[in-house]
């Protein structure tokens, strides 16, 4: 979360580049979180996090299979899915 805030607070990059870097930070954070989750999740909060990550993966897989959209639209949709998942999980964990 802190890395993401630094991008917004201190960057003089163009908006598109800043957005690209924010998605990178979010993807990295989600990957790291996934590694930290135990194989079996008993805690309700962690179970919700696990479910959100699984749904994100399924949605991204479905998006990758679609033939009816252009690459740029696919990229924007992938970024939106990642961003929403990051925001939801951050809220669930009380980071935001």
pLDDT on residue 18: 77
Q: How far apart are CA 47 and CA 89, in angstroms?
A: 11
Q: How far apart are CA 64 and CA 37, in angstroms?
A: 25
pLDDT on residue 21: 84
Domain count, the chain: 1
> What does the pLDDT look like over 39-96, one tens digit per residue?
777 788 888 999 999 999 999 999 999 999 999 999 999 999 999 999 999 999 888 6
Domain that holds residue 85: 2-92
pLDDT on residue 62: 96
pLDDT beyond 90 at 5: no
Q: What percent of the chain has pLDDT over 70?
A: 85
pLDDT on residue 2: 62
pLDDT on residue 43: 83
**In the chain, which ranges are continuous DSSP H helix?**
2-10, 15-36, 44-65, 71-92
pLDDT on residue 25: 92
Q: How far apart are CA 55 and CA 36, in angstroms?
A: 18
């Amino acid at each position: 979360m802190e890395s993401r805030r630094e991008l917004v607070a201190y960057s003089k990059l163009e908006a598109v580049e800043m957005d690209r870097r924010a998605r990178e930070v979010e993807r990295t954070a989600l990957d790291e979180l996934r590694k930290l989750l135990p194989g079996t999740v008993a805690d309700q909060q962690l179970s919700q996090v696990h479910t959100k990550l699984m749904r994100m993966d399924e949605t991204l897989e479905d998006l990758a299979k679609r033939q009816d959209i252009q690459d740029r639209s696919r990229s924007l949709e992938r970024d939106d899915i990642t961003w929403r998942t990051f925001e939801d999980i951050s809220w669930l964990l009380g980071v935001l």
